[in-house]
Amino acid sequence: MGAAAAAASLPFMSLTGCSKESPSSQAKLLQVGGLPVTCNLTLPVACTSKAASNLAGSGDGRFAYQYSKYSGWPEIKESLMTGRIQAAYMLAPLVMDLSDKKVPLKIVSLGHRSGAVIMVRTDSAFQTFSELKGKRIAIPSRFAVDFLFLRKMLAQENMTPKDIEIVEMPPPDMPAALYANAVDAYCTGEPFGAAAQRAGYARPLRMTRDEWRNYICCVLTVREELIQESPDMVQDLVNHVMGAGHWLDQQQVNRDKAVAIASKREFFNQDPNILKFVMETPTDRVTYGDLRMIRTEFEELMQLSIEAGTLKHPVAYETYMEERFAKAAKPAPMLV
């Protein structure tokens, strides 16, 4: 058996020896990959709440979830493709592309809405995209929905990506690149816009909250064998992600609690003041309460990706989507 096959055949690990929270439990532990970005914030909250409910003896104690931090989309993609992990937050267009290439993946839930920004220096004169003609703009990836957002904003000014110089760059590097004038602007998810804004040297030129309210990029994605072998676990995970989303949008105090969770070393390991800035400036900079999976929204994403050249042809909705878990979801109460 090859390494990939071996990994795929071992989707779970015993919770004993893996989690100090519940050493006596025999719950099956599922590692869920994610990036330290606020579009993935529902994941640390869901994992924390699940651990608390297992300790309290409430809810379905058969399962436990552990956040597995990755530094970039290529690493998560590789881990999902090889079966090293069975679930992760992924870029929606990337899942479409991989599913079309017969990688056995399915989207089972959204993770957020909105949350992307296009940042320029505070001392720059840029107010419209026409003023960025010929300028250097950073994006995380051409598969990133941030890139589609940038394309939409350019189109409003009758511009195309050919009118600017695009560079691909890891989001954590973008604030420093803008500060050093290595780029003139960058387009990415939070908290990497807020980090520069809070430091005082950058301001948002455009935000998805104003321009693309139903924007989605990160989606909960699982390998098909996990669906086949443990559909109850997938349903429980979706219930907790949706519960986390509803809880985050209920009141600001919940967002403050989420910041305290996500800033921990085992999760995002980031400055809580920057995460708090994202959650408050403004309060709908990223939203989590509406995690409905709407077919027309995904088909719009697919069409935009085809126009951007990141997808070569249309991909059937059923190829990459498994709706049944979201439709049957009962948002779990958050014990955090």
Q: What is the pLDDT of residue 105?
A: 98
CB of 309 closer than 8 Å to CB of 151? no
Asked if CATH classification 3.40.190.10 holds for the domain at 116-211, the reply, yes or no, is yes
- With residue 85 as reference, give the H or E element that holds it: none
* Per-residue pLDDT, 13: 36
pLDDT number for residue 25: 52
pLDDT of residue 23: 37
Tell me the C-alpha distance between 195 and 176, whole Å: 10
Phi, psi of 286 (to 5 degrees): -130, 140
CA distance 81 to 66: 19
Whether the Cβ atoms of residue 164 and residue 132 lie closer than 8 Å to each other: yes
Give the integer Cα–Cα distance in Å for 192 and 171: 6
Rounded to whole angstroms, how far apart are CA atoms 245 and 254?
A: 11
pTM of the complete model: 0.89
CATH class of the region 3-113+215-327:
alpha beta
Supply the DSSP symbol for 216.
-
- 3-113+215-327 matches 116-211 in fold: yes
CA–CA gap between residue 300 and residue 294 (Å, rounded): 10
Regions in the chain scoring below 70 on pLDDT: 1-25
**Domain coordinates in residue numbering, the chain:** 3-113+215-327, 116-211
Q: Name the phi and psi angles at 278, rounded to 5.
A: -60, -40
The pLDDT of residue 12 is: 36
- Tell me the residue type at 261: I
Per-residue pLDDT, 72: 85
